[in-house]
Structure 1
Amino acid sequence: MENLNFLNVDDLIHTPKEFEDVFDLLHDSLDLKISQIFMLGLTIGMKSGIKLPASDGNGRQFRQSYFKNKSDLGIQYALAIKEGILDGEEGKFADNKVQKQVKEMLSEYANQGFMILRDELFSNLIKQHKTKSKIEVIKLLSQYVIDLNEDIPF
């Protein structure tokens, strides 16, 4: 039987250099791991419904195997299914072209999320070039989530 868990391998994920400040802010203030920051960006980007291709891949690098949380992988596979890249056909999981499509789609949604974090949530904190308190960052993230709920008409 083929390995159906192609997202939990040692391939590298490259993030754009333009979002380094987002990674620094979230790591320094909340002590988040790079895989957690990626999932935050992915979730926000997915919620926006917009994919942003990478301008470069010269930012942070981490291995896909860093996604230790099974729910992180579940979200990634569910998004690939929602996007129509994967379906119930086992052969697609082994197809290198399909795997590449899934990984690109995940990165593009994450990039959009990083852009939202940088431009809409953290722009003032990043410009201040000072140590950011955990409370400031959590407050901004919480307000973003509350604002999203207000956009839902039911």
Structure 2
Amino acid sequence: MKIEECINYLLTGAQHKVFQKMKNELKEYDLTPIQYGVLKCIWQFGMTNPKEIADFHNIENSTMSGILERMESKGLIKREIDDNDRRYIKITLTETSKALEYSANKVIDKVNALALKDFTPEETETLKNMLRRIVDTEYDE
């Protein structure tokens, strides 16, 4: 198989281009794409548990801890002991991160529109469905 036909090559190339554009666009708000992803989990789903957010993004808990540390030092979140179970950390938004929601979501909408501008609505839906299938595939072998 030629490398240009390898699914990993194609997915990595596509992801890199979108990621770089997103990274550049979010710079204005002092956010990285993964920091946006963490905030989006809170804004959209009300997630407050770091493990839940890490699982959603398929990243290690130790990696999530570093991301949250940087976000806290930027004044985007607060990490607090959960009142219901003192073994757990709860993430809360700051006024700064609450104020970013509309603008940051607009940036992501813009990047998504740019990435998909050459696709019809039907092709866009097909692409998203195919990518979801890849994400949901189990690779036990």
Place the TM-score, normalised by the shorter chain, in its bin. Answer: 0.3 to 0.5
| TM-score of the superposed pair, with normalisation by structure 2 | 0.33
| TM-score of the superposed pair, with normalisation by structure 1 | 0.32
Higher RCO (C-alpha 8 Å, min separation 6): 1
